Amino acid sequence: MSVEQALTIADLKEQARRRVPKMFFEYADSGAWTEGTYRANEEDFHKIKLRQRVLVDMSNRSLESEMIGEKVSMPVALAPTGFTGMQHADGEMLAAQAAEAFGVPFTLSTMSICSIEDVRSVTTKPFWFQLYVMQDKDFVHNLIDRAKAAGCSALVLTLDLQILGQRHKDLRNGLSAPPRFTPKHLWQMATRPFWCLDMLGTKRRTFGNIVGHAKGVADLSSLSSWTSEQFDPQLSWKDIEWIRDRWGGKLILKGILDEEDARMSLGSGADAIIVSNHGGRQLDGAASSISMLPRIVDAVGDRMEVHLDGGIRSGQDVLKAICYGAKGTYIGRPFLYGLGAGGKAGVRRALEIIRKELDITMALCGERDLKNLSRDNLYKDV
């Protein structure tokens, strides 16, 4: 099956499973500990029921919207994801190009394989950059400055990875940063020949934003020890001020999952918050993102733009989040599955699937303009 024949994100997931080595596929397709929160992110969307409306004009529909003042063809951004360039060679560059052509934002992760400069070299419009705060503040300052120099139009500051949650699949697969190529790993790659051929054609196989930029990290051996020690466990609300001042542009806070934290964010000077539990990859047992969305929207009212990340696998999920008050949504795994399945064409197909599902669902709910969606379009709350 080609990516163009895929009808659902689940179809792309199965294609990616067959094409990407297990250690990298399961890096994307995994959560922390029991993976309960990872599963709940998806399952809780199914509990939300839609109001079907009939005998209304369904012509001339529009999905266009805005996220932090930027026009988007639909309220969906590609989420920041680490190791993206291991799902497909030059993955971040290909995904950024697909997002740009589709008219939606692409967010580059600090832990990307392709660097900020790599992505800038193949795009014509600004993309967003996601920042992890490390203990090496000179490195963080440099990252912010590099994102500014590349013309990034928003900084997404991740708040929920001060320490790393345990993901059993990564440990069992022996995944590391950089990966260790044991006989088991070599066998996994040997059984994925097309992936290998693509990877042989690129020089980008490690964390491009770190190697050669962080002090003492000039090769793969030094990178492994650096990454295991660098996430800053002392990150606090006061750090947002100096990050915001150095950045000087649009700032989005990612990782809000509690009403009190949402209210505290109102004084941060940020332009938006993302309701997120890191895709169920940090605190297992935390509430799903969609279950907390309406509470957080109610907590901040119209004083802060609220986005949602986590669990979206369809255009219907996007619509439900918009109905609950989100001004934008993020897809991570759906675009990674598309990327793994077919590179840039696979990412484009993932976006096409979500757009078609969102458009048809909106029509069957009796709406023609996405901006008119509200909780009135939902039959029952979570």
Write out pLDDT tens, residues 10-40: 999 999 999 999 999 999 999 999 999 999 9
DSSP codes, 179-224: PP--HHHHHHHHT-HHHHHHHHT-S--S-TTTTTTSTT--SHHHHH
Q: How many domains does the chain have?
A: 1
Q: Is residue 183 part of a domain?
A: yes
**Residues that constitute the known binding site for FMN:** 80-82, 109, 130, 158, 254, 276, 309-313, 332-333
Residues 6+ apart with CB under 8 A from 80: 107, 108, 109, 110, 112, 128, 130, 156, 158, 254, 332
Residue 123 has which token pair? 């795009």
Q: Is residue 83 part of a domain?
A: yes
For residue 159, count other CB atoms closer than 10 A to its CB.
Answer: 23
Report in angstroms the alpha-carbon separations of 168 from 32, 33, 171, 189, 289.
7, 6, 5, 21, 22
Q: pLDDT of the chain along its 382 residues, tens only?
A: 799 999 999 999 999 999 999 999 999 999 999 999 999 999 999 999 999 999 999 999 999 999 999 999 999 999 999 999 999 999 999 999 999 999 999 999 999 999 999 999 999 999 999 999 999 999 999 999 999 999 999 999 999 999 989 999 998 998 865 567 789 888 999 999 999 999 999 999 999 999 999 988 876 667 777 877 899 999 999 999 999 999 999 999 999 999 999 999 999 999 999 999 999 999 999 999 999 999 999 999 999 999 999 999 999 999 999 999 999 999 999 999 999 999 999 999 999 999 999 999 999 999 999 999 999 999 965 4
CATH number of the domain that residue 236 is part of: 3.20.20.70
Angstrom distance (rounded) from CA 294 to CA 284: 21
**Residues that constitute the known binding site for glyoxylate:** 27, 132, 167, 278, 281
Angstrom distance (rounded) from CA 295 to CA 257: 10
Alpha helices (runs of H) in the chain, residue ranges in sequence order: 9-19, 22-28, 36-46, 91-102, 116-121, 137-149, 168-173, 183-190, 193-200, 220-230, 237-247, 259-265, 289-300, 315-323, 333-364
Q: Is residue 127 part of a domain?
A: yes
Q: What's the whole-model pTM score?
A: 0.97
Residues 6+ apart with CB under 8 A from 242: none
User: Domain containing 37: what range?
Assistant: 3-377
Q: Is residue 266 part of a domain?
A: yes
Q: Is residue 382 part of a domain?
A: no
If phi > 0 it is left, if psi is from -120 to 50 it is alpha, else beta; for residue 27 that is alpha
Angstrom distance (rounded) from CA 235 to CA 253: 13
**Residues that constitute the known binding site:** 27, 80-82, 109, 130, 132, 158, 167, 254, 276, 278, 281, 309-313, 332-333
Q: Is residue 123 part of a domain?
A: yes
Residues annotated as part of the active site: 278
